[in-house]
Amino acid sequence: MKLYWIFTLFILLSIDQLYAQDKKQPNIILIFSDDGGYADFGFHGSKEIKTPNLDKLAESGLIFSQGYVTASVCGPSRAGLITGQYQQKFGYEENNVPGYMSESSKLLDVDMGLPLDEKTMGDYMKKLGYKTAFYGKWHLGDADKYHPNKRGFDEFYGFRGGDRSYFAYDKFPHPDKKMERNFGNYEEPDGYATDIFADEAIQFVEKNQDEPFFIFLSYNAVHTPLESTEEDLKRFPNLHGKRKELAAMTWAMDRASGKLLDKLEELGLTENTIVVYTNDNGGPSDKNGSINFPLSGTKSNHLEGGIRVPFLMSWKGQIKKNSSFDFPVSTFDLLPTFYAAGGGDVKDLVNVDGVNLMPYINGKNTAAPHENLFWKKETRAAVRSGDWKLIRYSDRPAELYNIKEDISEKNNLAYVEKEKVRELFKLLYEWELTLERPLWQLKRQFEKYDIDRMDNYKLN
């Protein structure tokens, strides 16, 4: 009888162990690039610019064919992503770039940043027991109080501002451009920054392979300055000028990402790791030679070319290979998706506007994740409701497009579908009533530049 109970206990413990293994928290890696053009990736059909590793990632999972960001410029887009909500709700509506902001702003210079009472992805994933790391471009505040190590990330290597050289500086740079290891340990890179950020992530994976980890790999590629290695430039003999530099920088970013994905495979972690790749906003075609076709417009405006981005997600055994998801989604959906995958209850998340995408991806919920999506940049704003999209301007009448039928936004229907215009204006107005006043705004000449750039890259 004693042997019987010992055997029974052994079986129960074995079943419990197997169940625990089956429920093991997945590792999560978010690969985030900067200023990439919608058409400048192999998985989006580019023949000039090669991205074999991201193409392979796309094949292993799904492409969000209507993936959006919460803002058309770097800082606000990152604020919405990392908090899972519309960043305008806490006043983070405009890029935080010292010297560019209106003197009438409530906050200026180093005071600009992600409000301290807003929780980040790092905060939430640590709550679930994850080891957390952030590598690369932060751009959520230069002051010490906004530092990644104080915003939920155990490890940090990168820079606090919005751009910097991809190589070591000869002279001491502006503080927000300094490369920094954790808090206050400044060290310029010995090599090309894109590769170094990925190498840091690889070391973190090796060190933490036996426990759940969350990595936010935030490249500054392919943001200006346009800088590449000579070796990478030689790969594109038929391209010239900005386009050549862009191709080389994108190749480097893809190569670095591939090294990280290979390390997961080497360590046997691929099956239990969620990997997402996306980009912070549309490509600024005038500055880095990026192409957003078939989308109209560029970075810093609310045409599709400013807010629709390449967006991939892979999770072996959970997401079907070579698949696509065709309802509109937003980068603010990633926080609740990650949190739920890690075993958290999304009801714990504060003020989030995003949703857990997994029930939609696996078909348990066949509805669209969002009835409406909104954008606002100072006086300009937009709303997407179903297939319809209204864009409000400060210097011209609003425009209305049917995105399903007119992805390039060439056929303005505002004078034909007048009731739809009124309906969407009402939605936009009601949403704006829920927002805080912007904590900082651009000087007028820079806002005018953004509008002029939109006009120059609007498809006709």
Query: Domain limits of the chain?
Result: 25-370, 374-456
> 11 CB contacts (<8 Å, ≥6 apart)?
none
Cis check: omega of the bond before 225, within 30 degrees of 0 = yes
> 363 CB contacts (<8 Å, ≥6 apart)?
none
Q: Is a pLDDT exceeding 60 seen at residue 20?
A: no
Cβ atoms of 186 and 179 closer than 8 Å = yes
pLDDT of residue 56: 99
Give the pLDDT mean for 103-131: 97
pLDDT of residue 115: 98
Classified as helix, coil or strand, 120 is: coil
pLDDT band at 23 (very low <50, low <70, confident <90, very high): low
Taking the CA atoms of the chain, what radius of gyration do you get in angstroms? 22
Give the pLDDT mean for 191-213: 99
pLDDT band at 21 (very low <50, low <70, confident <90, very high): very low
What span, in angstroms and rounded, lies between the C-alpha atoms of 117 and 204? 28
Give the pLDDT mean for 415-420: 98
Left if phi > 0, otherwise alpha if psi is -120 to 50, otherwise beta: which for 184? Answer: left
pLDDT of residue 283: 99
25-370 topology per CATH: Alkaline Phosphatase, subunit A (3.40.720)
Whole-number average pLDDT of the chain: 95
Give the pLDDT mean for 81-105: 96
> 375 CB contacts (<8 Å, ≥6 apart)?
70, 71, 72, 302, 307, 381, 382, 383
Q: Is a pLDDT exceeding 70 seen at residue 1?
A: no
Alpha helices, DSSP H, located in 228-289: 230-233, 241-266, 285-288
pLDDT of residue 122: 99
Q: Is a pLDDT exceeding 50 seen at residue 16?
A: no
Write the pLDDT tens digit of every residue in 129-178: 999 999 999 999 999 999 999 999 999 999 999 999 999 999 888 899 99
Note the pTM of the prediction, 2 decimals.
0.94
Give the pLDDT mean for 31-50: 98
User: Picking from 94-103, 284-293, 424-433, which range would have the lowest pLDDT averaged per residue?
Assistant: 94-103
Q: Is a pLDDT exceeding 90 seen at residue 9?
A: no
pLDDT of residue 98: 86
Cβ atoms of 102 and 441 closer than 8 Å = yes
User: Picking from 13-17, 93-97, 108-112, 357-361, which range would have the lowest pLDDT averaged per residue?
Assistant: 13-17
> 111 CB contacts (<8 Å, ≥6 apart)?
143
The CATH number of 374-456 is which of 3.30.2320.80, 3.30.1120.10, 3.90.550.10, 3.40.50.720?
A: 3.30.1120.10
In total, the chain counts a number of residues equal to 460
Cβ atoms of 97 and 176 closer than 8 Å = no
Instruction: Give the tokens for residue 253.
Output: 């970013």
Q: Is a pLDDT exceeding 60 seen at residue 297?
A: yes
Q: Is a pLDDT exceeding 70 seen at residue 18?
A: no
